[in-house]
Amino acid sequence: MKATFNKVLTTTTVLSMVLTPGAVWAADDTATSVTPTMPAATEQQKTPAFPDLNTAVSWAREQITQAKEMGWIGGYPDGKFYPLNNLTRREAAIIMSGALKLELPDKTVSSYPDVKVWGIKEIEAVKEAGLMLGKETGKFHPDDKITRQELAIILVKAAKISTEGKGDNLTIKDAGKVWPDAKPYVQAAMDSKLMVGYNNYFNPTDTATRQEMAVMAVNLAKVLEGNSTTSEQAGTVASVTADTLTLNGQSYKLTDAVKGIFNEKNAAALKDAQVKVEVDGAKNVTKVKGLELMAAGQAPAEGEPEFSGNVTLDGNHANVEGDVTVRANYISLHNLTVKGNLTVAKEVQNDFEAKNVTVEGNTLIEGGDTNTVVFENAKLKDVQAAKENVKVSFKGNSSVETVEVAKNAELAADQGISLPKVTVKDGVNALKVNAMIDELILPEKVKVEEVISNYEEAKNWIGKVNGEAHAYNTYTFVTEGVPASVEARELLSEAPADGKIAAEAFAGVQPVKVSLAVDKDNAHQYEGHVRIQPSNVEGVQLWAQDAEGKWWDINKTGWGPAEGFKLDLNLKTDVYVVAQEGTHIIPLKLEDVDKKYGTVNNVIAQKNFELKAEPKAEKPADNQDAK
């Protein structure tokens, strides 16, 4: 008989059930909180834990008493325990929700048609937690019984015991009756003393009884108590699989919290890596405390994109709780949060890339040369460039709080990224700047033109030097009257050569007023010529009328003559938006036609505004019954 493991998971995934501290096991659905510690050995009680305790097998009586003292089990309304009764799925759900302290939903009707009154909230809670699901029929089958092999799966998962390499060495006489997918769990349960056999029989298809569950609850408590202790392990990565990490000759099971980092896809990047991990008592890796990457990639092939030869560690948005150090060439870090510091070490002499990386500590760049150290869509705090001639580039949506330059270097940033504060240390005399800098801090008595190697090119990208205004004013777009949504409309035909459009075309459309504002704390107004670049957003028209009465679709043609116009901060332009159904992101870009301002791509100011165009609301039909 082949019973699939998936069926076990969907029908009996109870995990710790009654087994963790905090739940009373009773038919009347009562629950109380208890202290999660094992009771000390005491003299045998004069009064039995239950009046029918003598009906339990002798080897279970002590554990039944312990389980009651711990508050894990309770009796029926008549005070008896009924140790030989079978355990149902409904009871398991009630016990599990109490044991795990799940929040009970405020529901009086179950999502399962066969669950009526007793246990509705608890069954819904375990369903929402993904711990117990219905069967293929869509029903929960609350009165179904649970077999011993199903319990083996449940107990081993609850205890987080590794099943690697288990299942093929079962020595029980009825091993042939165990489902193939359950064999590793049965062996793990027996090896860990969570469950025992009878005369070398496991009886996998027998229904579990209440007395057995009491014994297993006590056994599991001992395992969990051992699992609660953690230790720190450090060493060289020998191998990584989907479920295990081998470190210093010892295999550890991976928890979900670390599988984003430790997985087969990252095996190449983790080759010979030095790691520090937190391990619980069951040898499960629960945290990554530190990581040093030692495996190098390759230079990109001729004609291939930069970083295409890099070896990549994709963290899948997992965390490293401590520091990360990169000690080899051509390495990329993706989708990772570093709670400590990130160091690009001196061993790195070529490209390094960090994409979608957050560093909560400091970022120290000791490696690299004229090749690029790139941060794309990165969130950084304090960055220190401490390698001679290194180029540090910030791309995409990257943000950084401060940059300290300790050696001659190059700083570059995409349009839209501004470095709030750059501090230059003594001895730096050749800093190349291809980025907007809000404030530059120089050593005392050092002139900016003596430090910035491309000063004539970069002088207008620097807002302040040692607190004093330095560059042209900073300009920003101001848009007034942008509605939360507009009525979707068909786009207008292109304006004729004379630019004449009938005024009725914009009937009912409220214009958006567009103007420019200036940062008065900066130095002086820009005297060059500007114009608004075309946006070319699909499904949108931005109509504005010039001084000669001609209409122009700014989205398609831009605004202003090819030679540009002088800035006028007092001018407000009415822009009429016509948009097809959908949500549109519309960028406004002010271009420096004279190319004197010195910004990346000659864009002085840029602003995106979002517009939602919705279908025209249908007029409700008249109420024919209204009087």
Question: Has residue 570 got a pLDDT over 80?
Answer: yes
Task: Give the alpha-carbon dihedral of 404, 406, 411, 417, to 10 degrees.
Answer: 0
- pLDDT tens digit string along 109-137? 999 999 988 889 989 987 887 767 788 78
Indicate the range of 209-213, 458-462, 518-522 predicted with least confidence.
Answer: 518-522
Give the integer Cα–Cα distance in Å for 139 and 161.
31
Question: Has residue 399 got a pLDDT over 80?
Answer: yes
Give the integer Cα–Cα distance in Å for 207 and 337.
47
Residues in contact with 48: Cβ distance below 8 Å, sequence separation at least 6, in sequence order: 54, 65
Q: Would you give the DSSP letter of residue 571?
A: -
**Residue 14 — very low, low, confident or very high, per pLDDT cuts 50/70/90?**
very low
pLDDT of residue 386: 96
Neighbours of 141 (CB within 10 A): 16
Question: Has residue 254 got a pLDDT over 60?
Answer: yes
Neighbours of 62 (CB within 10 A): 15
pLDDT of residue 20: 30
Element (H, E) at 306: none
pLDDT of residue 230: 81
DSSP 312-371: EEEEEEEEESSEEEE-SSSEEEEEEEESS-EEE-TT--S-EEEEEEEESSEEEE----SS
pLDDT of residue 461: 86
Q: Which amino acid is at 126?
A: V
Give the integer Cα–Cα distance in Å for 450 and 252.
56
**Residue 12 — very low, low, confident or very high, per pLDDT cuts 50/70/90?**
very low
Highest mean pLDDT, choosing among 400-409, 413-422, 584-593:
400-409
pLDDT of residue 6: 35
Question: Has residue 584 got a pLDDT over 60?
Answer: yes
- pLDDT tens digit string along 335-373? 999 999 999 999 999 999 999 999 999 999 999 877 789
Task: Specify burial of residue 37 (Cβ count, 10 A radius: 0-12, 13-18, 19+).
Answer: exposed
pLDDT of residue 25: 38
Give the integer Cα–Cα distance in Å for 335 and 80.
56
What CATH class has 475-614? mainly beta
Task: Give the alpha-carbon dihedral of 336, 249, 241, 300, to 10 degrees.
Answer: 60
Question: Residue range 450-461: average pLDDT?
Answer: 90
Q: Measured between alpha carbons, how far is residue 333 from residues 245, 260, 291, 535, 585 in Å?
A: 20, 12, 12, 33, 30
Give the integer Cα–Cα distance in Å for 481 and 489.
19
Percentage of the chain beyond pLDDT 70 is: 87
Percentage of the chain beyond pLDDT 90 is: 49
Cα distance from N-terminal residue to C-terminal residue, the chain: 72
Question: Residue range 385-391: average pLDDT?
Answer: 96
Question: Has residue 223 got a pLDDT over 90?
Answer: no
Report whether 357 contacts 398 (CB < 8 A): no
Instruction: Please state whether beta strands 565-566 and 529-532 pair in parallel, antiparallel, or not at all (unpaired).
Output: antiparallel
* Rounded (to 5) percent helix, strand, coil in the chain: 20, 30, 50
- pLDDT tens digit string along 141-184? 889 898 888 888 877 877 778 888 898 889 899 999 999 999 99
The two three-digit tokens of residue 374, written as one number: 């790139």
Instruction: State the Rg of the chain over Cα.
Output: 35
- pLDDT tens digit string along 498-556? 778 887 788 878 899 999 888 765 556 777 899 999 999 999 999 999 888 889 999 99
- pLDDT tens digit string along 46-99? 578 899 999 999 888 998 888 888 776 778 899 999 999 998 878 777 766 765
pLDDT of residue 224: 67
- Report the mean per-residue pLDDT for the chain: 84
Identify the sign of the CA torsion 6, 7, 8, 13: positive
Q: Is 64 left (phi over 0), alpha (psi -120 to 50) or beta?
A: alpha
pLDDT of residue 16: 30
- Select the more confidently predicted residue: 23 or 352: 352
